[in-house]
Structure 1
């Protein structure tokens, strides 16, 4: 069994998707890897964190966690937060919360399947206000990440095409 198969056996199907759609925009993933997309805020699924109170910031999570497995079997995780305004600090907080959740999922897979997966985890803020923001050329962007794995350059990716392979291969 591979990483994504084991992930598929752990995560509930109600939260897995083939694509990311935010504010009417369909975001495509530019990758040669196999992917599985997890989203928290699924309509009609009830309270996904029933064990937490409604205290400010406790339930904040990023919009999507993209689990990837390269052709060689190496796992990666890309956490994506969609923003229509300029709030990079809020986006990073949501990324860090989702990073902890992703690490918990990996720990669960490692425990259940007696594996030792240690995927590289990256996070990016993706702009949803594409009509007001000029599109970046998707072939020339260089990504830079801080020590937490959060993308600091560019601060916000303003394109409906998410360059997964480029992000994961950047330092």
Structure 2
């Protein structure tokens, strides 16, 4: 602001009201009324950042006030990431909202019980899931597993978005009760 003259016009922070009491004035409001020699307000002359400029974080010619700094941090936490909540699901973008990614949270859980026969695959119909984002777990409930000669292997896989295939092999008596669970992630 070299060569700029600021006209203060004798503004007081306390102003007498008509009823004789004094009112405290907001210094920001007072500064807005002050004009520089080129007829700009102090805010215009200082080039204070707007909220949009603070959140975007791309303007290198505007000054950041504490509130604008907070708005920037609230909008972008790390690595130039923008956050939002969309229908209750947190999402992030690292390209100014060009594309959004959901945060890896549990989307759905399905579970059930089944009796598997050795050598005969069992197909269980489940609600549709994304197989690339679903974990499958299975636990045998066979109480004879302590028998020394008993062997039981159970294998489970999603063969389609709606079919869980469970296969058992070994020499355990059948049927073999098992518990299965699917956890789908966003």
After TM superposition, is the score higher than 0.5?
no
- TM-score calculated relative to the size of structure 2: 0.22
* Structure richer in strand, relative to its length: 2
TM (norm. structure 1) is: 0.23
Looking at secondary structure, tell me which structure has more helix per residue: 1
The structure whose Rg is larger is: 2
